[in-house]
Structure 1
Amino acid sequence: MSLEDNKFIVLQAYEAFDLGDIEKGKTFVASDIIGCVMGSHQLQGSDAFFGYALMMRAAFPDGFHTFVDVIAEGDKVVTRGTFSGTHQGEIMGIPPTGKHVKFSIIHIDHVIDGKIVEHWGQGDMMALMGQLGAVSN
């Protein structure tokens, strides 16, 4: 697949997440996906991957990604930007605050045969925790 095809697949997967369309998202993700999110949380398989996605959607039902950079090389796509949303569900033991948050993210997605087979995501958790009032800014 071309670099542009790989970018398209990754961006469509994020768009599906942002719309809360897990079924559409599943069309872009391999059943045996491996992921690492929020630093060290390991995910094995699409059930775990989408379980995490649903947890994030429950915490931030209006959450969405805004990408500044989308860079592809070989079979990897790197996205850099922000995640924004309103905290309406528990996350990391923090009850809903109703606060709108926005924090930086960087993802690396590995695409093979039109499917994301690996996802590595990093977010600025200190910024998120500060905005939720869990740590002082």
Structure 2
Amino acid sequence: MLDAHKNVIRRLVHEVFEQGRVDVVDELLTEDFVDHSAQHAEFFSDVPGREGFKRMALIARSGLTDFEAELDLIVGEGDLVAALVLAAGTHTAEFMGVPPTDQRIRLSDFHFFRFRDGKVHEHWNQLNALEIMQQLGRVPQA
């Protein structure tokens, strides 16, 4: 079952985020999916559930053209899967409240997914917002 769970996460990254196929979300997340990620509500969408997850993916893709993402690390135990996702895109529209800079930026974020009946039921995420804001010129480089 753990391999099947990891494949769900691979599909989320590649189909939903890279390809923008948000229709797949309904297949991969439970109807009562809960996103515990405060940063998603703050920067992307405060709509709960699957619809909020779809909006978050579309907003991220709309702010960063030529968006690409990869799973750098994926591990699991029981009903939990953890993943480190590395992504990049060109900042051509508003992203995280910042007007376009036409810069290529990189993102790295950690995700934890809890599964129920083969679908993602809960999600926690920690986006490295400081790293992104530094790249967008909003925070001085250290």
Q: Same fold (TM over 0.5)?
A: yes
Q: Structure 2, unaligned stretches of length 5 or more?
A: none
Residue 110 of structure 1, CA deviation: 1.2
The answer to whether the 8 Å contact 2:40/2:56 transfers is no
| TM-score using structure 1 length | 0.89
Contact 1:32 1:44 in 2 (8 A): no
Tell whether the 8 Å contact from 1:35 to 1:43 is kept in structure 2 after alignment. Answer: no
RMSD: 1.7
Residues 64/43 of structure 1: CA separation in 2 closer, same or farther (3 Å cut): farther
Which one of 52, 55, 60 corresponds to residue 56 of structure 1? 60
Structure 1 pair 33–20 and aligned structure 2 pair: CA distance change class (3 A): same
| Runs of 4+, deviation exceeding 4 Å | none
- 1:50 is displaced (CA, Å) by 0.9
Q: Does the CA-based 8 Å contact 1:28-1:115 persist in structure 2?
A: yes
Return the offset for 1:66. Answer: 1.8
Q: Deviations over 1:75-134 (max 9, x none)?
A: 111001412111122123211111111122111111211211111111111110011111
How far did 1:36 drift? Answer: 3.0
Paired residue for 2:20?
20
Q: Percent identity?
A: 28
Deviation at 1:40? 6.8
**Partners of 1:29 and 1:115 within 8 A in 2:** yes
- TM-score w.r.t. the length of structure 2 is 0.86
- Shift in Å at residue 38 of structure 1? 5.6
- The match for 2:36 is 36
Unaligned stretches of 5+ residues in structure 1 = none
How many residues matched?
136
Counterpart contact for 2:13–2:71, Cα < 8 Å: no
The structural deviation recorded for 1:12 is: 0.8
Shift of 1:62: 2.3
Query: Which amino acid in the other structure matches residue 5 of structure 2?
Result: N
